[in-house]
Structure 1
Amino acid sequence: MNLLRAAGLVSALTLLSRVTGLVREQVVTALFGATALTDAFQVAFRIPNMFRRLFAEGAFSQAFVPTLAAQRSTEGDEATRSLVDATATVLLLSLMLVCLLGIAGAPVLVWLMGGGLNPQAHSAAVDMTRWMFPYIACMSLVALSAGVLNTWRHFAVAAATPVLLNLSVIAAAWGLSTPMAQWGWPPIYSLAAGVMLGGVVQLAVQVPALRRIGMLPRVSLSLSGGLNAWRHPGVKRILALMAPALLGVGVAQVSLMINTHIATTVAEGAATWVSLADRLMEFPIALAGVALGVVLTPLLAAAKTDERGNEFSSLLDWGLRLVWLLGVPCAVALLVFALPLVSVLYQYGKFTPTDALQTAHAVQGYGVGLIGLLAIKILAPGYFARHDTRTPVKVAVVVLVFTQVMNLIWVPVFGAAGLALSIGLGALLNAGWLAWGLRRSGVYQPGAGWLGFAVKSLLAAALMGMFLWGLASELNWLTLHKGWRVALMGASMVGAMLIYFGSLWGLRIPLRQLVRRA
């Protein structure tokens, strides 16, 4: 199995999801702008997303995937099928309860997340939160399906499903916003309807893929079935691993909640500016961090289970080298070329030049910590594969405190951009600490040639950055005709890629060795 090919497939599909996500944000900003009501949607959507990260990509996946990979490696497919059935039963029963509590407690959740919203926006956020809360159940079951498919090394379906959410929201925004107004609902509610439609569609497409590998879960909602599922040894292992992981992910979500609350108090539209910057920052994370993390997690777990220590360390080293190779130029581009990127991507319709400028400042804040955000996606699986969920939790708690201290310093100075800067600095601390822990424990030994590789990559990125900085300084991107902006952006990206990879070739970076890593 060629790891780069597998990562490339996940990366391409994840890129497609990010592109459609970007189109989704473009549609939202063009139709609704950056206003109190768009802030209300951002707050409402972040609430189910927060719980989704607790029950789906976060604590659950961190505990489920390594346990599933170890079970299949040691006991075979039949025992693994029993674990999948039991886990799906417990997960669904738990989510039904969470959804009911979330719908009832929506006003409190909105106040915690968006206390700075005006009364109209607060009421809209409560309504949309209630509409979207069942999305958590859909996405948590999608995460279970993705864990199974990735363990069987079927990466495509799980990586492609986020595209369906974006397409559903786009379709609902265009098709339902006018009818919503005619029915007496704020048009922004069309976005909440699109989110729920997307969740259902994403779950539906998992069924054929799971059936093909014989792993479609058999869920029991009876009392006896639920009790038997709770008693399953594999479920108990997952729950034991989830407990500290849940705390770790919960710490991250508390930080998100605080930051969103602060954003709603900075200015109307500030939550939207930060969210749009986050969307742009997700592109490099999707291309490098997420794709590599998805591929590496089950392989690291299998290497650890089979006690192949050298392979474990080699996999981590390969992932970190690719993160550095791809992340450094992306970070430079976000720092020096933020305004052109934002103006080309978002400055349409009701999205004003002032909104573009504020969003660009937030993008630069994220750019400071991009390498950290990427590296965490590689380093954290190194702990989870060893069933160590406690260390990342301890790190996350310290980083939460550090981030909020940074908010006290930077938000009064930079406003919404200060929130992004604090997150970026916190990510650097998080990644550095995780790397130091793996190195100290002896499970990760950096390969030869790291210093020369890092310096040469930085030099190539600096040359590329000088080119982009010149283009950003010489042209007034905010006032250019949108057709010229798009054409110049395309030319700029091609030029930047040629300069960076041409410089790598000239500096004799061994790209072929990375490509052929198997």
Structure 2
Amino acid sequence: MSRQTRKRESEAVAEAATTGTATPVTRGGLLRSGMVVSVMTLLSRMLGLVRDVVIATLLGAGSGADAFFVAFKIPNFMRRLFAEGAFNQAFVPVLSEYATQRTRAEVRELLDAVSGSLSVVLALITALAIAAAPWLVWLFAPGFKADPGKLALTAEMLRLTFPYLLLISLTAFAGSVLNTWERFAVPAFTPVLLNLSLIGAALWLTPWMSDPALGLAWGVLIAGAAQLLFQLPFLLRLGLMPRPRLGFRHPGVRRILRLMTPALFGVSVSQINLLLDTVLASFLVSGSVSWLYYSDRLVELPLGVFGIAIATVILPALSKRHAEQSREHFARMLDWALRMVLLIGLPAALALVLLAEPLLVSLFHYGAMTDHDVVMAARSLRAYALGLLAFMLIKVLAPGYFARQDTKTPVKIGIVAMVANMVMNLALIVPLAHAGLALATALSAFLNAGLLGRGLHRQGVLRFQPGWGRYAFQVVGGCALMALGLWWLTPDWHQWTAWHAPRRVGCLLGLVVGGATLYFVWLALTGVRLRHFRLRG
């Protein structure tokens, strides 16, 4: 950040403190903010891949790995459902309205009440979950009851991992405040600490445990505390450090709770679908849960770096425009988000399909991971990749409702997608096993995204700007050229298994860079320029 920018922000904060206003300082356009989040998220996701390589080497796809992934998935699922899902989508619009229309004292009062109420509720949920750990494992992975040892190990780890929900939800609360004040880099960097904690636990704690997976469970707990403590100084610097107190009767808290109730389901349908995959996979052959996990992790890389990054910056911006009743700018923002998703989502999905085995071999085929595991994980990876574009679209279309404090419509759409996913799960699990579960999730995501987009268009909120025909030709043409290049250049994946790690990674990077070069050169030759994606928040 330049000296002039810091000076302007200091003056604005000083003025806010003097006048009592709370309006956040605008720091730049959506493209710039999105790139900041993308870079930080990319760092986190790359470390996440390192983390998964370490876990795959240590545990492979056996019973210990299945047990840890379920013990971690339960609080992680609830984190996405509550913290990053319903709470974030309900809290940010209300906070943006307070920041735009209320005094700074009223904003601080809202933060105090929300932080205190959230802490009490999460502490009670955590205590109950720890006491009921075996029953939770049976609920989320009922197939484990056939193996009492695996069930007991998973329950023991869940008692260590579940407090992560309390810590990471408070972290998400702090991150929502920072995002509303356009400090996107800090919340985007925070997940790096989770990956570092798990890598450190794998290297230094697992040798001391009766089962190596227990060391990873301790790493999850340590990560939750580290992420929360990391964000607090930045809240203090903004003068927005909350003083938690019970405030269920506070008008802002009551509005957030009313918005959260339907949002609990609406924004998190894709996460519920993934959880259903785990439940059903627990009945399949050993390793099915792990194959789905490894393939999901690779899909999460572009989804997090680009899809979630765009959604992160667009929600507070859309909420601000709704509070200001700027409908035209609101519509342009949604159109911008859709173009950004298509620009990155389509080639990323295509690359995952074409490079499934090379990716899995290069990242995970070490130690306990076998050739059979690579083949099985590649099947579910391709199925998930088919839905990547839909996963991204959901992330950017749902804020079009939540920014306007409409949480009921996504719930109705979510119910339809949920039922469709259940039906397709049952229809596809028999012929395709775990890959059928992944494919059902992808197909239901397209249904969800389509219904969200149709609803916004009918409400006049989503209005396509001129130039979509030419833009689609540019993106699809670039994808076709990239696919042809990757198909021509990629060696058979069996050759990769005989290579050492540096050669695998080097070849993979070469293919990624080569494919991306073909894609972006085509875009440049057909007239796509960076300035076309600049939009003020």
TM-score by length of 1: 0.95
Matching residue of 1:493:
512
Alignment of 1:56-135 (within 5 A): 56-117=83-144, 118-135=147-164
For 2:287 and 2:492, locate their aligned partners in 1 and report how far apart those are by CA, in whole Å: 29
| Contact kept in structure 2, 1:477 and 1:485, CA below 8 Å | no
For 2:258 and 2:183, locate their aligned partners in 1 and report how far apart those are by CA, in whole Å: 27
**What do residues 164-189 of structure 1 show as CA deviations (whole Å, max 9, x unaligned)?**
01100110111011111xxxx21110
| Contact kept in structure 2, 1:343 and 1:477, CA below 8 Å | no
Matched, 1:258 2:290: no
| SS of residue in 2 equivalent to 1:447 | coil
For 1:297 and 1:168, locate their aligned partners in 2 and report how far apart those are by CA, in whole Å: 29
Matching residue of 1:196:
221
Q: By how many angstroms is 1:110 displaced?
A: 0.4
Aligned mate of 1:23, from 43, 47, 50:
50
Q: By how many angstroms is 1:78 displaced?
A: 1.8
Matching residue of 2:362:
344
Q: By how many angstroms is 1:511 displaced?
A: 3.7
Alignment of 1:224-235 (within 5 A): 226=246, 229-235=247-253
Matching residue of 1:170:
199
Aligned mate of 2:242, from 197, 213, 217:
217
Label 1:197 to 1:253 Cα distance change in 2 as closer, same or farther (>3 A): same
Q: By how many angstroms is 1:345 displaced?
A: 1.1
**What do residues 288-311 of structure 1 show as CA deviations (whole Å, max 9, x unaligned)?**
111111111111001011110000
For 1:486 and 1:216, locate their aligned partners in 2 and report how far apart those are by CA, in whole Å: 44
Aligned mate of 2:375, from 357, 361, 364:
357
The one-letter code matched in structure 1 to 2:115 is A
For 2:493 and 2:232, locate their aligned partners in 1 and report how far apart those are by CA, in whole Å: 50
Q: By how many angstroms is 1:473 displaced?
A: 5.6
Aligned mate of 1:389, from 397, 407, 425:
407
| Contact kept in structure 2, 1:339 and 1:477, CA below 8 Å | no
Q: By how many angstroms is 1:515 displaced?
A: 4.2
| Contact kept in structure 1, 2:353 and 2:382, CA below 8 Å | yes
Matching residue of 1:376:
394
Q: By how many angstroms is 1:457 displaced?
A: 0.6
For 2:349 and 2:194, locate their aligned partners in 1 and report how far apart those are by CA, in whole Å: 27
Once the two structures are aligned, what percentage of the paired residues are identical? 44
| SS of residue in 2 equivalent to 1:404 | helix
For 2:529 and 2:256, locate their aligned partners in 1 and report how far apart those are by CA, in whole Å: 40
Matching residue of 1:51:
78
Matched, 1:404 2:422: yes
For 2:190 and 2:492, locate their aligned partners in 1 and report how far apart those are by CA, in whole Å: 41
Matched, 1:161 2:179: no
Any stretches of 5+ residues in structure 1 without a counterpart? 221-225
Q: By how many angstroms is 1:14 displaced?
A: 0.7
| SS of residue in 2 equivalent to 1:276 | helix
Label 1:477 to 1:115 Cα distance change in 2 as closer, same or farther (>3 A): farther
For 1:274 and 1:104, locate their aligned partners in 2 and report how far apart those are by CA, in whole Å: 28
Label 1:142 to 1:10 Cα distance change in 2 as closer, same or farther (>3 A): same
Label 1:372 to 1:477 Cα distance change in 2 as closer, same or farther (>3 A): farther
Matching residue of 1:223:
none
For 1:210 and 1:365, locate their aligned partners in 2 and report how far apart those are by CA, in whole Å: 41
Matched, 1:430 2:448: yes
Q: CA RMSD in A?
A: 1.4
For 1:478 and 1:121, locate their aligned partners in 2 and report how far apart those are by CA, in whole Å: 33
**What do residues 341-366 of structure 1 show as CA deviations (whole Å, max 9, x unaligned)?**
11111111111111111111111001
Q: By how many angstroms is 1:249 displaced?
A: 4.9
For 2:311 and 2:86, locate their aligned partners in 1 and report how far apart those are by CA, in whole Å: 15
For 1:473 and 1:127, locate their aligned partners in 2 and report how far apart those are by CA, in whole Å: 44
The one-letter code matched in structure 1 to 2:192 is V
The one-letter code matched in structure 2 to 1:213 is L
Q: By how many angstroms is 1:333 displaced?
A: 0.5
Q: By how many angstroms is 1:477 displaced?
A: 4.2
**What do residues 454-503 of structure 1 show as CA deviations (whole Å, max 9, x unaligned)?**
12211110110111123346453443303322221121111101100011
**What do residues 185-209 of structure 1 show as CA deviations (whole Å, max 9, x unaligned)?**
2111001000000000001011100
Matching residue of 1:141:
170
Equivalent pairs, count: 507
| SS of residue in 1 equivalent to 2:494 | coil
For 2:447 and 2:261, locate their aligned partners in 1 and report how far apart those are by CA, in whole Å: 23
Matched, 1:307 2:325: yes
Runs of 4+ in 1 over 4 A off after TM superposition: 249-254, 515-518
| Contact kept in structure 1, 2:51 and 2:198, CA below 8 Å | yes
| SS of residue in 2 equivalent to 1:266 | coil
For 2:323 and 2:369, locate their aligned partners in 1 and report how far apart those are by CA, in whole Å: 52
